Amino acid sequence: METGRILILAGPSGSGKTTVTHLLMGLHKELVFSVSATTRSIRPNEVDGKDYYFINQEVFKNKIAADEFVEFEEVYAGMFYGTLKVEIERIWANNQIPILDIDVLGALNIKKKFPETAVTIFIHPVSIENLHSRLTKRATETPESFAFRIKRAEEELTLAPQFDHIVYNRILETAVEDADSIIKKYL
Ligand code: 5GP
């Protein structure tokens, strides 16, 4: 299949990238959310097939072996997340553009695969303290996963310069406007 465009938003957990992604989709009908596969357990507010395809480790490993992923990462110990080739191809086949909300390493890997057609945007939180308070408000984490997410966020911030664009998320509306002006040039 011919390679289409891909828009990738990445940033630390709690950076607000999921919110920005959904608001951008509301502004541009041609952007379609690429649903990832994951082995993490479903949260109460999530829908299987809409937020993620929730699968077990065995199924995930079979898909790795069958080369079904564009990219995948073990984002947290024992928790795999991956972008499925069929998901991206289905969106391209409808003449639409997949928008991916994935982790920083996954984003950089996709950019390596599609250097001409992928655009990567790093959603940068104001500070690590700000991430703390967002993750606390979200209240989906155990103390261990909370600590992991903060540590990982610190590492991820060092990779921001490798992205095509960095958008600072101090005020949500401004972050969406900034991302939108980048996207408008690309669509
Ligand atoms: P959460 O558990 O909070 O939904 O997601 C944890 C992290 O995994 C987030 O940074 C999210 O963006 C990332 N993620 C979600 N889907 C994928 C994917 O398909 N590939 C990669 N590499 N990361 C993903």
Q: How many domains does the chain have?
A: 1
Judge whether residue 1 has pLDDT over 60: no
Distances (CA, A) of 48 to 8, 34, 37, 144: 21, 13, 10, 25
Contacts 24+ apart (CB under 8 A), 53-58: 53/84
The string of pLDDT tens digits covering residues 22-45 is: 999 999 999 999 999 999 999 999
Ligand 1: residue whose CA is nearest its atom 2: 40
CATH of the domain at 13: 3.40.50.300
DSSP characters for 25-62? HHH-TTEEE-PEEE-SPPPTT--BTTTEEE--HHHHHH
In a domain, 108, yes or no: yes
Query: Among the atoms of ligand 1, which is closest to the Cα of residue 83?
Result: 19
- pTM of the shown model: 0.91
Distance 184 CA to ligand 1 centre (A): 25
Q: Domain of residue 175: give its range.
A: 6-186
